[in-house]
Amino acid sequence: MPTLDELAKAPTNLKDWFTSLGEHVAESRRVIEELSKDDPPTEPFRSRYAGRNMLKSALERAQTFNPSTDQETSRVRLAQATIYYYLGQVSSEVEEPQEASKSFTSCLEVLGLEPVLKYNISLRLQVHNLLATVWSGRGEHKKAFELLEKAKELHAGYVHSKEPPPHAIDEVFMDEEFSSEERNVMFEKLYTNTLFYLAQVYGVNGDNKQAAAHCHITLQRQLESDDFDPLDWSLNCATLSQYYLTLGNYRSARHTLSSASSVISTVEEAGSDGEEEGEGEGESKKKKVPTATLR
């Protein structure tokens, strides 16, 4: 692992410069994500503060490089925007929403200098999501709603463009690329989060009909992607069932409650299978897939 002094030396060649910057960013995130696990209770954010300072140093480096072509300019801007995003993330984690808002806003300002492309659409979508959660947490639900609606527009516009699945956020600093399938899964998960946050904002604003509709779509997308916590999913589904009951929509209430029960049953069966592991060794075990559907 290179030292911080070595990481601070910025090569003039773009490829080498990106490799060096990527190492700097990776070390910053390692401090934030890994070393923070060992922080003492008296200093719960010690490593996150240290990692944030390292990211600020990386950002300064990204802002001092002088690109010579339009392509280089676009890539350097994407690097700057991505670091702003990481800064916003860690500021949220250390419970500094104002700093998080500044970083996310700066990220969008840098991205605003570039057209919407496959290289930056995932980052745009994610930052709109996270900035919306910051504003919602500060009671600014109208601003949160506007950001989430913009996120919906970004997703719809890109999907309708028939472009290939967009790059993942972290790929700007990666040597290897994700497959098209992996990219699509990550992009659609970001949009599922958009719908989930919208459901919450609609609920806070008292629009229960839209809140339920967005909750329904979120749950269905999570189920189809097989990317969800079964207990949380079932609880949300049961809550949605209660809402349908208040409307006298017994068919939907019964259906959503049945879906929740189906997923819970699958979890219980999986637990039972785990207890019996070892009996019938050598037999192939198939993953149990919930039979629930919200369509």
State the sign of the Cα–Cα–Cα–Cα dihedral 232, 238, 242, 243.
positive
Q: Residue 271's pLDDT is what?
A: 62
* 3-state SS, residue 176: coil
Residue owning tokens 């659609």: 188
Residue 202 near residue 217 (C-beta atoms within 8 A): no
pLDDT in tens, 238-275: 999 999 999 999 999 999 999 988 888 887 776 655 55
| Mutual angle of helices 208-225 and 180-204, in 10-degree steps | 160
Question: Which residue pairs from 96-102 have beta carbons closer than 8 angstroms and sit at least 24 positions apart in sequence?
Answer: 97/134, 97/137, 97/138, 100/130, 100/134, 101/131, 101/134, 101/135
Q: Residue 9's pLDDT is what?
A: 46
> Model-level pTM?
0.85
pLDDT in tens, 205-224: 999 999 999 999 999 999 99
67 φ/ψ angles, rounded to the nearest 5 degrees: -70, 155
Average pLDDT, the chain: 88
pLDDT in tens, 166-180: 999 999 998 889 999
pLDDT in tens, 46-90: 999 999 999 999 999 999 988 889 999 999 999 999 999 999 999
Residue 156 near residue 91 (C-beta atoms within 8 A): no
Q: Is the confidence at residue 278, as pLDDT, over 80?
A: no
